[in-house]
Structure 1
Amino acid sequence: MSDETDPTTPVTSAPTAVLAANAVVACNEAARAEGVRRGMRRRDAQSRCPELRLVEHNPDRDARAFEPVVVAVEELRPGVAPLRPGLLAVYAPGRFYGGESSAGALIAEQLVRVGVWDCRIGIADDLFTAEQAARQAHPQDTVVVEAGGSAAFLRELPVSVIDDAEVAGLLRRLGLRTLGEFAQLDGSDVQARFGGYGAKVHRLARGEDDALLGARRPPPDLECQIRFEPPLDTAEAVGFSVRQTAERFVAQLAARGLVCTEVLIEAECDHEIASSRVWAHSRWFGASDLVDRVHWQLRGQLRNTMGVGKPVELVRFVPDTVEPTAAHAAGLWGGGTDERVERAVARVQGMLGHQAVTVPAVQGGRAPADRQAFVPWGERPVGLRPAELPWPGSLPPPAPARIYTEPRPVAVVDQRGKLVWVSERGVVSAPPTHFRTSDDGGNGGSPGWQPISAWAGPWPVDELWWENPASWVARFQIVGVDGRAWLMTCADDGWYIEAAYD
């Protein structure tokens, strides 16, 4: 079974493709309708679809976006094998759901619940045939290849379905247009001509794929609970009775090298959750800590003997955040470790979202703002412009210390008091001698005219002139008599302070 969808890009009607090494690795339905295919070079894809929107390949982002799909399928059938973002495999759960077609419909319904509308499912004896069947299915539909019918199903498919452009091209040059024609060749001849890899592809074409699924193991169920018969009506009695369960909860985490730093404690009364709260610990929870939290929770909700108003029949411990035990070990010389900082950042990231916590990175560019890039914490920088390439018009070192989000207006004049300007050929009308800002920029300076003690430039840049006619700018490094240095930009609509030097 396979699910062919593209979680790497936002849901959009615009043709979109994901690029890696200048080749298409994924594309949406709108791009496929224009003739864009996986493995196609960037130039070929843009020639098929000039308005194609290109997105850089980011494996971490793709896997993160595809994880809810894997989890949704795991709820129906454990043993899911994610082959790549957008494609997964699982042993068909047909006998549990009244047949393979019914199982496919149930999986499609489950994926629609998590927001995946374009899901295509194929069921066959082997993985390769199941993937090809899924590619022929309609959205939210299932194509079932009968047992023993893989070879017949693959016979009329073109050799281009082989996920190796070099092998597919070689077969076409040899006059083999379909998988059936390739499958008719003798296996020993294929082994002698193409080697072991060619023999494997030959077995795929014959429907004899014997590859096993590398299914991931579902996470263990780490929650613990205890049921009271008869129900207990005091917080002290509940706290005394849950101690062994709390010790078992901590022990099973320790056996896996884990500790719990956040735990959800639930109490049920009359088969309903009457009390639920997440508790956090500065280090990790021990059995005594859990017992104390149960007691505080039950007594603190209401000002009566029980706190929840009814006898408690069940208490449940659910680990909300678990971390490796080694991450909480004390340093060799005492004090904390770098891992604690990483855990704190990861916790903030989990609360605010993956994109909310970023770290700076340097990329190529001409303007100081263009050289800035912010990468989500814990993610490898991908898709950045190479900083080592030559960037004509870029500034010499040192780089500015502060870059303003919005450039600040400024006036720069010559000795006669006339506004300094720069021609399209980079010629300065006159040496700048004074400048004046509309305010002091929060740096304690005077808003009046300030003499210039030194200046360098200009560095003219004309980028993307075919898209933005007003893209021409010339940059200057200017030092005032007070010793402060500025990066100023002369544009068609005036002068601006773009950055400051320390």
Structure 2
Amino acid sequence: MSSGERALVFWVPDWPVHAYVHDQDDDTDPLPPPIALVANRRVVACSAAAREAGVRVGLREREAQMRCPDLAVRPHDPEIDERRFAPVLAAIERLIPGIESRRPGLCAMRARGPARYYGGEEPAAAALLALATELDLTGVRIGIADGIFAAEQAARAAATAPGLAVPCAGIRIVPAGASAAFLSPLPVDHAAPGDFAEVLSGLGIRTLGALAALPEDAVRQRFGAAGVAAHRRATATGPVHGAEVRPRAPVREFSVDLSFEPPIDTAEQLAFACATLADRFISGLAEERLVCTALRIELTDDISVRHEREWAHPHRFTASDTVGRVRWQAASISHDAERGGAGITRVRITPTHTDRAAAHEPGLWNTEPDERVHHHLSRAQNRLGHAAVGTAQLSGGRLLASRQTMIPWGTSRTRPADTRGSASAPWPGALTGPVPSRVFATPLSAALLDVEGVAVSVDAEDLLTALPARLRVSHTEFSDRVEGWSAPWPVRERWWQGAPERFRLQLRLADGDAWLLYYERGEWFAEGRYD
């Protein structure tokens, strides 16, 4: 069995936290040292300060906060990890071509070429560390060994681990041919998936050395392809699926930027100056048969404050659309006399989401009416402002009025990174069945009466005090009697902030007219009507 090729791994510990912190605007409040990024109520990444307090990846959010009361919990956005690591990959590629991005914060490359160019593996690793310092990356680890798996384990290992050569802090080198001995004492779950590792542990195979001692044919017959892959990782031999370095294709840089001297202080002047830049941005994508569906605009003023925002488009950006976004973003910047600064000195436009141009070509019968609607609404928006023309979007909430969100025209309807505010998140007390066709922006005052004309309310057991017979909405009493109604159900939210307790009720009149009411502080209100 041949030994795996020498591989070099570049690893940035806690990359999601690093990317999140650097993605924040410069004018935001600084984050406290212990921070954790959470997805699906579990910790995805945490800072070194959080780990010192006992926080670990995989913990539930509540348990992490119990271990570290000062923990700053933020939602994890994988898009930020990818976007912030792309410039790092480009910088490494300019230094050493032929790299493979394993995941955000980790990339690999063949060690032979850099070692020959720099005069050895150690000088090549030192060159990468120098680049990491230029990129303001702290705690970077370089691992070199036989194969990507062994190199990654070397990068993650402590400096005192046996079988490692540590010429300086941040560099871990396993001598050629010694990778199997280095991997031998590591737990078997380093090379095998979770379920497979439990099976191996149940059979008494708890280290990579014990797995490597088994004949490969016996592992293949018993565990199949997954067992062979884990066995070859443990023995640092190849080929293993995913073990060879697969350099990525060169990525064309589609970002464009423009600097101004002297600074530009008005949005209209900035938009006029960026017209050629927007044309160059769209033309560069068109040359690769791509269209942009989301872009990021960075405006830097003369006191080095960066104003960054991402814009989405329901179809695709044109040059005029791009110029309009620059104008709106510049107009939204606060011009405070005490802050100082004379205007914008640099504009950078970066595509964050692209698509094939063929997918956006007009259909067989064309889409001219849609294009006309978009054209006229966009013109009205350019005259009146970004938020002046909008469309409705369903968002999260319990009351119907709170679920209506107006988004500016030309903005893509994307799900927020924090699913706790999304429409699909659980909302106890929310209406689960058919919703009223008419929703009142301001609930109408209503009265629910029994057969004797006495007001019906909700008692301490969350039940109606009498059988409803008549309904009055906004001083209009309906002649038809109440024919059917649901049991009232409570809506209790934000009680710690003093929000009132509500009870919702659906009822139907004899003529088929139906209403959605809610009871709050002794009064009934009409929330919507079923037409």
- Give the TM-score band, short-chain normalised: 0.5 to 0.7
Separation in structure 2 between the aligned mates of residue 107 and residue 158 of structure 1, nearest angstrom: 33
Instruction: Pick from 87, 107, 130 the counterpart of residue 151 of structure 2.
Output: 130
Q: Give the conservation status (yes or no) of the 8 Å contact 1:6–1:26.
A: no
Separation in structure 1 between the aligned mates of residue 87 and residue 155 of structure 2, nearest angstrom: 20
Structure 1 residue 187 corresponds to structure 2 residue 216: yes
Q: Which residue of 1 aligns with 2:301?
A: none
With over 3 angstroms needed to count, the CA separation of the structure-2 counterparts of 1:490 and 1:362, relative to structure 1, is same
Q: Which residue of 2 aligns with 1:156?
A: 185
With over 3 angstroms needed to count, the CA separation of the structure-2 counterparts of 1:374 and 1:55, relative to structure 1, is farther
Q: Give the conservation status (yes or no) of the 8 Å contact 1:6–1:28.
A: no
Q: Which residue of 2 aligns with 1:422?
A: 458
Q: Which residue of 2 aligns with 1:214?
A: 246
Q: Give the conservation status (yes or no) of the 8 Å contact 1:133–1:144.
A: yes
Separation in structure 1 between the aligned mates of residue 81 and residue 449 of structure 2, nearest angstrom: 56
With over 3 angstroms needed to count, the CA separation of the structure-2 counterparts of 1:336 and 1:177, relative to structure 1, is same
Deviations 1:452-495 (A, max 9, x none): 55663443136689978967531124689999965332135755
Q: Quote the offset at 1:344 in angstroms.
A: 13
Q: Which residue of 2 aligns with 1:83?
A: 102
Instruction: Pick from 20, 37, 46 the counterpart of residue 28 of structure 1.
Output: 46
Q: Quote the offset at 1:72 in angstroms.
A: 2.0
With over 3 angstroms needed to count, the CA separation of the structure-2 counterparts of 1:104 and 1:501, relative to structure 1, is farther
With over 3 angstroms needed to count, the CA separation of the structure-2 counterparts of 1:259 and 1:422, relative to structure 1, is closer
Q: Quote the offset at 1:55 in angstroms.
A: 8.2
Q: What is the letter of the counterpart of residue 150 of structure 2?
A: T
Q: Quote the offset at 1:123 in angstroms.
A: 3.6
Higher RCO (CA < 8 A, seq sep 6+) = 2
Q: Which residue of 1 aligns with 2:12?
A: 3
- Secondary structure of the structure 2 residue equivalent to 1:156: coil
Percent identity of the aligned residues? 31
RMSD between aligned residues: 5.9
Q: Quote the offset at 1:386 in angstroms.
A: 12
Q: What is the letter of the counterpart of residue 358 of structure 2?
A: A
Relative to the length of structure 2, the TM-score reads 0.54
Q: Quote the offset at 1:136 in angstroms.
A: 3.5
Q: What is the letter of the counterpart of residue 145 of structure 2?
A: A
Separation in structure 2 between the aligned mates of residue 281 and residue 125 of structure 1, nearest angstrom: 50
Instruction: Map 1:234-383 onto structure 2 (within 5 A).
Output: 256-257=288-289, 324-326=356-358, 329-336=361-368, 360=393, 368=400, 377=412
Structure showing greater Rg: 1
- Secondary structure of the structure 2 residue equivalent to 1:427: coil
Structure 1 residue 145 corresponds to structure 2 residue 173: yes
Q: Quote the offset at 1:67 in angstroms.
A: 2.3
Could you tell me which runs of 5 or more consecutive residues in structure 2 were left unpaired when the two chains were aligned: 1-8, 22-30, 160-167, 257-280, 294-316, 322-347
Q: Give the conservation status (yes or no) of the 8 Å contact 2:129–2:140.
A: no
Q: What is the letter of the counterpart of residue 183 of structure 1?
A: A
- Secondary structure of the structure 1 residue equivalent to 2:459: coil
Q: Which residue of 1 aligns with 2:25?
A: none
Comparing 202-211 with 392-401, greater Cα deviation is found at 392-401
Deviations 1:376-407 (A, max 9, x none): 947679968999999996647431346578x6
Q: Which residue of 1 aligns with 2:123?
A: 99
Q: Give the conservation status (yes or no) of the 8 Å contact 2:254–2:350.
A: no
With over 3 angstroms needed to count, the CA separation of the structure-2 counterparts of 1:359 and 1:131, relative to structure 1, is farther
Q: Which residue of 2 aligns with 1:312?
A: none
Q: Give the conservation status (yes or no) of the 8 Å contact 1:155–1:179.
A: yes
Q: Give the conservation status (yes or no) of the 8 Å contact 1:121–1:137.
A: no
- Secondary structure of the structure 2 residue equivalent to 1:213: coil
Separation in structure 1 between the aligned mates of residue 36 and residue 350 of structure 2, nearest angstrom: 40
Q: Which residue of 1 aligns with 2:520?
A: 491
Instruction: Pick from 176, 192, 196 the counterpart of residue 205 of structure 2.
Output: 176
Deviations 1:151-173 (A, max 9, x none): 23323222232351122212222
Q: Give the conservation status (yes or no) of the 8 Å contact 2:448–2:524.
A: no
Q: Give the conservation status (yes or no) of the 8 Å contact 2:53–2:67.
A: yes
Separation in structure 2 between the aligned mates of residue 413 and residue 463 of structure 1, nearest angstrom: 22
Q: Give the conservation status (yes or no) of the 8 Å contact 2:255–2:349.
A: yes
Instruction: Pick from 66, 78, 88 the counterpart of residue 62 of structure 1.
Output: 78
Separation in structure 1 between the aligned mates of residue 375 and residue 251 of structure 2, nearest angstrom: 20
Q: Which residue of 1 aligns with 2:490?
A: 461
- Secondary structure of the structure 1 residue equivalent to 2:170: strand
Q: What is the letter of the counterpart of residue 199 of structure 2?
A: L
Q: Quote the offset at 1:422 in angstroms.
A: 0.6
Relative to the length of structure 1, the TM-score reads 0.57
Q: What is the letter of the counterpart of residue 189 of structure 1?
A: A
Q: What is the letter of the counterpart of residue 158 of structure 1?
A: P
With over 3 angstroms needed to count, the CA separation of the structure-2 counterparts of 1:340 and 1:488, relative to structure 1, is same
Q: Give the conservation status (yes or no) of the 8 Å contact 2:82–2:104.
A: yes
Comparing 93-102 with 126-135, greater Cα deviation is found at 93-102
Q: Which residue of 2 aligns with 1:73?
A: 89
- Secondary structure of the structure 2 residue equivalent to 1:124: strand
Q: Give the conservation status (yes or no) of the 8 Å contact 1:331–1:337.
A: no
Deviations 1:401-450 (A, max 9, x none): 46578x658463647887642124232234375657xxxxxxxxxxx633
Separation in structure 2 between the aligned mates of residue 25 and residue 213 of structure 1, nearest angstrom: 30
Separation in structure 1 between the aligned mates of residue 224 and residue 66 of structure 2, nearest angstrom: 35
Q: Give the conservation status (yes or no) of the 8 Å contact 2:192–2:230.
A: no
Q: What is the letter of the counterpart of residue 488 of structure 1?
A: L
Q: Which residue of 1 aligns with 2:475?
A: 449
Q: What is the letter of the counterpart of residue 26 of structure 1?
A: V
With over 3 angstroms needed to count, the CA separation of the structure-2 counterparts of 1:480 and 1:167, relative to structure 1, is closer
Deviations 1:159-197 (A, max 9, x none): 232351122212222223322232233333333333332
Q: Quote the offset at 1:99 in angstroms.
A: 1.5
Separation in structure 2 between the aligned mates of residue 340 and residue 460 of structure 1, nearest angstrom: 47
